[in-house]
A = this chain, B = another copy of it.
């Protein structure tokens, strides 16, 4: 251990950062299987063995990348929900406000790196379809707690609602959000080339409306 907490080598930390950044791009565009040690090493302009030196295994490397990407977004989601709660003097929130807190932080991240090939929602969405068992754990770790927070908030807004109604429609809401962002090809088709940051901003507003309305309509449904 050193007292400076700095890398031992001039570009030591930089190498690790480059590896994570490369992992991110490859995972976003080709999934877990598309992240190859040789590919990452080459794109990050380093040697294949240094990947193992910094992370141990491929799985650990992808895991660390996911943590670094999803963690901050979930933090913002909680903050935004708490802020809305505070602004409403702790009264129950409108449905749209709850889903705004859930969706906006992702949307902002998408907007930031939209032209980029490493779309955050591609990453999240891929995590949901990856079969690997270690990703299942990630889901539970990252989305389990967060889901509970938002479901609890929805229960406050709908105190008399059937619990099944809330669970199912929350499930649909998540699915809409992930699917809406993830399916790049269709977004580009829909915007017909004028797929820029404004288009994403528009999509986010539309999405919040879609999800909130669908959720509200699903409360007290007659089956």
Contact = CB atoms under 8 A, between A and B. Distances in A.
Q: How large is the interface on A (under 10, 10 to 19, 20 to 34, 35 or more residues)?
A: 35 or more
Contacts of A183: 128, 171, 174-175
Contact of A179 (B34, B175, B187): B175
Contacts of A215: 210
Q: Most chain-B CB neighbours within 10 Å: which of A29, A139, A183?
A: A183
A209 B213 contact: no
Contacts of A212: 217
A214 interface: yes
A185 interface: yes
A216 interface: yes
Contacts of A216: 213
Contacts of A33: 31, 33
Contact of A178 (B31, B139, B179, B209): B179
A93 to B, nearest CB: 18
A218 interface: yes
A186 B218 CA distance: 18
Contacts of A180: 171-172, 175
A129 B31 CA distance: 9
Interface stretch (A52-60, A64-72, A105-113, A198-206): A198-206
A168 interface: yes
Given A167-B190, A205-B223, A223-B205, A172 B129 contact: no
A182 B129 contact: yes
Contacts of A179: 172, 174-176, 178-179
A131 interface: yes
13 contacts: A136-B185, A167-B190, A172-B179, A172-B206, A175-B176, A175-B179, A175-B182, A205-B221, A209-B214, A210-B214, A212-B217, A213-B217, A217-B217
Interface of A: 29-31, 33-34, 125-126, 128-129, 131, 136, 139, 167-169, 171-172, 174-176, 178-180, 182-183, 185-187, 190, 202-203, 205-207, 209-218, 221, 223
